[in-house]
Amino acid sequence: MREIVFDTETTGVNPASGDRMVEIGCIELVNRVETGRHFHAYFNPERSMPSEAEAVHGLSAIFLSDKPRFHEKAEELLLFIGDSPLVAHNAGFDFSFLNAELERCGRDPVCLSRMICTLVMARGKHPGAKHSLDALCSRFGVDRSQRVKHGALLDAQLLSQVYVELTGGRQIGLGLVADAGVRADSAAATAGDPARRPVRPPRPHAASVEELQKHAQFVAGLTEPLWQRFGSSAGVSVH
């Protein structure tokens, strides 16, 4: 199963009042394992950057002034996300900005049925606890030492690890789920036919002559071992 974990940075909190998306980062997961493929882009919002927003993500209007407009990268972004489910933290926020930008350039919005919200998942699993991305990273032992400011790609990478933990843990990444079906099919195929079962040669476990000699030398060097003291008092001979 392919899923896309993504995060956005913006000029504010309300796309309806003119706030714009200025960064998006997407991480590809297949069967809850990162594939190494990602999409990342900065956008020129064609407006000023409020100081409050810049303090969060560190993206100034000057830095963004030579970046592409959203419509220039929309096709590339849509090709990357395809029709996969989209995972985000407080996903309603990110979806609102993504769809506002798509609508602005005449594209169809992303259907909300594709939305997976890790904030909702975390609240369901750990009611009453803190559910920020930082708090979840601490809870699950995800290294966030590089997260000085918010950044869409870094936050998507952190969230992908948190999402794996929320959906079953890192053992998924070991391929246990994928391999289980193969092992089950193999077991079913051989269970009724002993001739088809693999023959494994016995593995030797006896100590070698050299190992027995070293052990005897070690025991001979012990001073008043406990088994001699208590064994003799109980009339038991220990060898």
- The two beta strands, 21-30 and 115-117, are unpaired
In angstroms, the CA 167 to CA 176 distance is 14
**Is 52 annotated in some ligand binding site?**
yes
Do the beta carbons of residue 43 and residue 36 sit within 8 Å? no
CA separation (Å) from 216 to 158, 204, 206, 210, 211? 55, 21, 15, 10, 9
> Active-site positions?
150
The type of residue at 98 is L
**Is 19 annotated in some ligand binding site?**
no
In angstroms, the CA 136 to CA 159 distance is 9
Residue 128 — left, alpha, or beta (φ > 0 → left; ψ -120 to 50 → alpha)? left
Nearest to 10 by CA among 133, 89, 81, 98: 98
For 160, the token pair is: 């992908």
Residue 148 — left, alpha, or beta (φ > 0 → left; ψ -120 to 50 → alpha)? alpha
**Is 38 annotated in some ligand binding site?**
no
**Is 7 annotated in some ligand binding site?**
yes
Q: Would you list which residues are annotated within the binding site for substrate?
A: 7, 9, 52, 57, 155
Q: Would you list which residues are annotated within the binding site for a divalent metal cation?
A: 7, 9, 155
